[in-house]
C-alpha cells in the first residue's frame, strides 16, 4: 500500500486536497443554509406530488421567467431532466428539501476535477492547479452549491460539453465511445437546464461539425449515436410536444420574436450593454468584486440622458476604477485568447482555442435579448475569466521571465482573499441580504406553530419586503399538518383565528404602528432579517 501511495504523483495529492476543500465549502451546514425561496418551493411541490403518487411523471421542467407572454401567463418551459434528477434523489434520500438539492451539490463538486482536466488542455500542471483552486473557493461558484435550482448544474455540463466536443474533434473517426456518450449526455441534459443552453449547445455543435467533420463519413455514424442519446434523454418533452401540437415550442418561438427585455432597440446599444455586462461578469466571477447584477447605467445614459443619479455615480472614483479594471481585464483576456489561437502550432491545442472562441462568440450573440440580467445568466461561461487569468500569467512568464512569478502569486493571493472575504461576509450576515434559507424558514414556521399549538389554520400578514417568505413558510407548515393562509388588509379574518405579521427588521422601530396598534404591544421574535409579530385581537 505504501509503495502504491508513493507512486501517486504530487499534483494528484494537491488536486485531491483542492477537491476535499471544495466538498467542505459546498456541503458545510448544507441544510440550514440551503436556498428555499419561491422557485425552490415551486419545484419541490411538483416533485413531491409525483413522489406521493398525486400526479404523473412531469413531461416539462421549470418555466423561464423571462420568456413568453407574461400577460397571458404563457411561458416557455425547459425539459424535465432537472425534475428527474430531483426525483431520483428524493427516492434515495427521502422527500425533503435538502434531498432535492443533492444532485446540484454533487455536480458542483464534480465540476472541480473536471475543471482541472479542462484547464490542462492549454496550461501546465501548476497553473491548472492554481486556477482550479481559485475556482473551488470562488464566491460565484459557491453560490450555486447551497441551492436546488436548474441553473446550478450548468458549470459541470458546460465543461463536459466542451471537453467532449473537443475530444470528438481531435479523435475524428477514432473518437472513443466514452466521449460519444459524454457528448450525447451533456447535450441531452444541458439543453434542459436553461433556455440559453437550449440555443447555445446545438449551435456550437452545428458549427463545430460543419467546420471539422463534414468530409469524414465515419463521423456521421457516431453523430447518429449522439443524436440517439439526446432523443432518449428528451423523451419527456417530445411526448408533451406531440400531445399538445408543439405548444411549448411555439411559446419559445414567440418569446424569441418578441422585443428584447432590456428595451434597447438599437443594435449598437444592445451590443454595448452586452459587452459591458460580459466585462463586469468576468471580473465578478473571478474576484467577487462589485454587485451580482449588471450595472447598465452607461448604456442607459446614452439612450435616456445623463440624469443626476447617473452623473453622481460617474463622479465616484471607485466606480470609475471598477469600469477601467473590468474593461482592461476582459479586453486583454479576449485579446490573449485570439493571440494564442493564432500563435499556437500544435494542432490539438489550436482546436481547443478555436472551440473556446466559437463558444464565446455564439454565447455573446444569443445573450443580446437578455443583456440586463443578473450575473447568474453568465454561468455557462464561468470558465472564461479563469482562462483569461491563466493566459495573462502565461504571457508574462514567457515575455518577461520568471521574475513575474511573485506578481502572479500576489494576484492569486488577492483573488483568494477577495472571494474568501465575500464568503465570510455572507456567512456572518447569515445570508440576511440575499437569500431565504431553509433553516430560517423552518425556525419561523416552528415558532409560529408553537404559539398556536391547537390551531390548524393560521393567517399570515406580509409586506412587500417579506411577501417572498409566504410560500416557503406555507410549504413547511403544510408538511407539519398546519395551513398557513395569506391575510390581506381590509379582509375580515374569522373570529378566533390566530394572526401573525412578518416585517423586515430594518423597518421595525419603537412606536411603529400596525393595524392601528403599536408594534411594542405585540409579542415578537427576530429571524435574521425578518421579525415575526404575534397579533392579538
* pLDDT attached to residue 68: 43
* pLDDT attached to residue 301: 57
Number of H helices, E strands in the chain: 22, 7
* Maximum Cα–Cα distance across the chain: 81
Q: Of 514, 480, 513, which Cα lies nearest the Cα of 500?
A: 514
* Grid cell listed for 237: 418533452
Confidence of residue 259 (pLDDT cuts 50, 70, 90): very low
Confidence of residue 506 (pLDDT cuts 50, 70, 90): confident
Which residue has better confidence, 471 or 497? 471
* Grid cell listed for 442: 423552518
Q: Of 109, 118, 107, which Cα lies nearest the Cα of 25?
A: 109
Residue 164 to residue 184: CA distance in whole angstroms: 9
pLDDT in tens, 220-258: 778 888 999 999 999 999 999 999 998 988 888 877 666
Q: How many CB atoms lie within 10 A of CB 24?
A: 10
* pLDDT attached to residue 80: 95
* pLDDT attached to residue 257: 66
Residues 236 and 87 sit within 8 Å (Cβ to Cβ): no
Name the CA dihedral angle for 442, 447, 448, 451, rounded to a multiple of 10 degrees. Answer: 150
The per-residue DSSP string of 468-485 comes to THHHHHHHHHHHTT-EEE
Residue 36 to residue 33: CA distance in whole angstroms: 9
* pLDDT attached to residue 262: 47
* Grid cell listed for 326: 473590468
* pLDDT attached to residue 196: 92
Residue 389 to residue 385: CA distance in whole angstroms: 6
* pLDDT attached to residue 314: 64
Residues 221 and 177 sit within 8 Å (Cβ to Cβ): no
Which residue has better confidence, 108 or 368? 108
Residue 271 has pLDDT above 70, yes or no: yes
pLDDT in tens, 292-326: 777 655 555 555 555 556 666 666 777 778 888 88
> Scanning the structure block, which residue is given the C-alpha cell 419603537?
510
Q: Could you tell me the pTM of the whole model?
A: 0.90
Residue 74 to residue 391: CA distance in whole angstroms: 44
pLDDT in tens, 65-87: 654 444 334 688 999 999 999 99
* pLDDT attached to residue 67: 47
CA-CA distances (angstroms) from residue 61 to 200, 211, 481?
A: 18, 33, 28
* pLDDT attached to residue 228: 94
Q: Of 408, 530, 411, which Cα lies nearest the Cα of 470?
A: 530
* Grid cell listed for 53: 403518487
Q: Give CA 485 to chain center in angstroms.
A: 32
* pLDDT attached to residue 473: 93
Domain regions of the chain by residue span: 2-257, 267-385, 438-535
Confidence of residue 509 (pLDDT cuts 50, 70, 90): low
Residues 113 and 105 sit within 8 Å (Cβ to Cβ): no
Element (H, E) at 311: helix 308-314
pLDDT in tens, 381-421: 999 999 999 999 988 887 776 677 788 888 999 999 999 99
Phi, psi of 204 (to 5 degrees): -60, -40
Q: Give CA angle at 35 (425, 93), nearest 5°.
A: 125
Q: Give CA angle at 63 (60, 66), nearest 5°.
A: 150
Classified as helix, coil or strand, 170 is: helix
pLDDT in tens, 187-224: 999 999 999 999 999 999 999 888 876 666 667 778 88
Residue 515 to residue 33: CA distance in whole angstroms: 33
Q: How many CB atoms lie within 10 A of CB 263?
A: 12
Overall average pLDDT of the 141-164 stretch = 91
Amino acid at each position: 500500500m505504501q509503495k502504491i501511495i508513493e507512486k501517486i504523483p504530487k499534483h494528484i495529492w494537491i488536486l485531491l486536497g483542492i477537491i476535499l476543500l471544495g466538498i467542505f465549502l459546498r456541503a458545510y451546514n448544507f441544510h440550514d443554509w440551503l436556498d428555499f425561496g419561491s422557485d425552490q418551493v415551486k419545484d419541490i411541490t411538483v416533485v413531491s406530488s409525483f413522489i406521493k403518487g398525486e400526479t404523473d411523471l412531469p413531461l416539462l421542467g421549470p418555466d423561464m421567467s423571462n420568456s413568453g407572454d407574461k400577460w397571458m401567463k404563457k411561458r416557455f418551459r425547459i425539459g424535465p431532466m432537472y425534475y428527474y434528477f430531483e426525483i431520483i434523489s428524493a427516492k434515495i434520500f427521502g422527500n425533503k428539501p435538502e434531498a432535492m438539492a443533492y444532485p446540484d451539490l454533487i455536480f458542483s463538486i464534480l465540476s472541480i476535477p473536471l475543471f482541472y482536466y479542462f484547464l490542462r488542455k492549454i496550461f501546465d500542471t501548476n497553473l491548472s492547479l492554481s486556477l482550479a483552486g481559485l475556482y473551488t473557493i470562488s464566491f460565484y461558484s459557491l453560490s450555486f452549491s447551497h441551492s436546488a435550482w436548474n441553473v446550478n448544474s450548468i458549470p459541470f455540463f458546460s465543461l463536459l460539453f466542451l471537453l467532449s466536443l473537443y475530444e470528438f474533434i481531435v479523435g475524428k473517426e477514432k473518437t472513443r465511445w466514452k466521449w460519444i456518450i459524454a457528448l450525447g449526455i451533456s447535450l441531452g441534459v444541458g439543453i434542459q437546464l436553461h433556455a440559453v443552453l437550449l440555443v447555445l449547445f446545438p449551435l456550437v455543435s452545428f458549427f463545430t461539425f460543419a467546420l471539422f467533420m463534414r468530409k469524414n463519413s465515419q463521423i456521421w455514424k457516431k453523430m447518429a449515436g449522439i443524436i440517439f442519446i439526446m432523443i432518449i434523454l428528451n423523451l419527456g418533452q417530445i411526448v408533451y410536444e406531440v400531445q399538445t401540437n408543439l405548444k411549448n415550442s411555439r411559446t419559445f418561438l414567440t418569446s424569441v420574436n418578441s422585443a428584447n427585455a432590456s428595451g434597447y432597440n438599437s443594435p449598437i446599444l444592445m451590443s454595448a450593454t452586452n459587452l459591458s455586462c460580459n466585462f463586469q461578469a468576468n471580473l465578478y466571477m473571478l474576484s467577487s468584486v462589485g454587485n451580482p447584477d449588471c450595472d447598465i447605467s452607461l448604456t442607459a445614459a446614452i439612450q435616456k440622458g445623463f440624469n443626476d443619479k447617473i452623473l453622481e455615480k460617474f463622479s465616484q472614483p471607485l466606480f470609475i476604477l471598477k469600469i477601467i479594471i473590468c474593461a482592461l481585464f476582459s479586453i486583454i483576456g479576449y485579446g490573449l485568447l485570439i493571440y494564442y489561437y493564432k500563435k499556437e502550432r500544435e494542432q490539438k491545442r489550436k482546436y481547443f482555442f478555436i472551440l473556446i472562441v466559437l463558444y464565446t462568440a455564439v454565447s455573446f450573440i444569443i445573450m443580446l435579448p437578455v443583456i440586463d440580467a443578473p450575473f447568474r445568466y453568465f454561468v455557462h461561461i464561468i470558465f472564461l475569466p479563469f482562462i483569461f487569468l491563466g493566459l495573462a500569467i502565461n504571457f508574462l512568464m514567457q515575455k518577461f521571465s520568471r521574475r513575474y512569478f511573485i506578481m502572479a502569486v500576489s494576484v492569486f493571493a488577492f483573488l483568494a482573499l477577495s472571494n474568501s472575504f465575500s464568503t465570510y461576509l455572507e456567512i456572518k450576515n447569515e445570508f440576511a441580504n440575499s437569500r431565504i434559507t431553509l433553516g430560517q424558514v423552518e425556525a419561523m414556521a416552528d415558532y409560529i406553530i408553537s404559539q398556536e399549538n391547537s390551531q390548524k389554520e393560521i393567517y399570515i400578514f406580509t409586506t412587500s419586503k417579506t411577501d417572498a417568505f409566504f410560500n416557503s413558510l406555507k410549504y413547511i407548515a403544510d408538511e407539519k399538518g398546519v395551513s398557513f393562509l395569506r391575510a390581506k388588509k381590509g379582509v375580515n379574518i374569522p373570529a378566533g383565528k390566530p394572526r401573525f405579521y412578518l416585517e423586515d427588521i430594518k423597518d421595525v422601530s419603537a412606536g411603529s404602528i400596525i393595524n392601528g396598534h403599536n408594534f411594542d404591544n405585540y409579542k415578537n421574535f427576530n429571524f435574521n432579517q425578518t421579525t415575526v409579530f404575534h397579533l392579538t385581537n
